[in-house]
Amino acid sequence: GQNIDQPTEMTATEGAIVQINCTYQTSGFNGLFWYQQHAGEAPTFLSYNVLDGLEEKGRFSSFLSRSKGYSYLLLKELQMKDSASYLCAVRDARSGSARQLTFGSGTQLTVLP
Amino acid sequence: ETGVTQSPTHLIKTRGQQVTLRCSSQSGHNTVSWYQQALGQGPQFIFQYYREEENGRGNFPPRFSGLQFPNYSSELNVNALELDDSALYLCASSPPQRPGQETQYFGPGTRLLVL
């Protein structure tokens, strides 16, 4: 099975940098995703890592270490609109072409002025 | 906007009733996945449909069933509703499986309340 852990809540200040960690244990790994979800809305795709290393996309970066079962999402130059839940999800490689995602419970980030 | 649409947006049912939720996938996407998201939790995988056939199922009972149509739109049916079925139901579509196109794009969800 899959087990994904991420902190429940984090708080940071506008303009700062925040790192949200995610650790996972999985019987089959085929990629790690980060999604952003504002309250009452659908998750929106932020990043995808399948190989070790850092992927940078504007103010957001995501890092993956497959040997450590570890990823982080780095948010720079925080803005008030970044207040949201950040979901870490692992794609299961076990079952044929099914691209099942297993999600963590999400990290609720609050950005303070 | 992901191009994935769901209906209805909100729904109230009573225990024991049946419900059908609908999803239209993004143009060109042939795979649809359904997730249940309880308040304060991450989405939980229900099942996935690919070319009109179920292609993977999570830990949900048989009273959760689905369909995918030739135009790749999909339905989620839940029979004998229970109070714990109250949740946000999310549909996600993804394109034909090619490297670099693995991302699932979510619709706005249907919020179901079972009384």
Contact by Cβ (8 Å): A109, A37: no
For residue A43, give the nearest of B31, B94, B106 by CB distance: B106
The confidence score (pLDDT) of residue A49 equals 93
Q: CB within 8 A of A30, min separation 6: which ones?
A: A50, A91, A92, A93, A99, B102
The confidence score (pLDDT) of residue B26 equals 82
Q: What is the pLDDT of residues A21-52, one digit of tens each?
A: 999 998 778 889 999 999 988 999 999 998 99
Residues of B in contact with A50 (CB under 8 A): 102
Would the CB atoms of B42 and A42 count as touching at under 8 Å?
Answer: no
Q: Lowest-confidence range among A29-38, B5-14, B23-32?
A: B23-32
Q: Is residue B30 very low, low, confident or very high in pLDDT (cuts 50, 70, 90)?
A: confident
Q: CB within 8 A of B9, min separation 6: which ones?
A: B108, B109, B110, B111
Q: Lowest-confidence range among A49-58, A97-106, B94-103?
A: B94-103
Assess whether pLDDT exceeds 80 at residue B52: yes
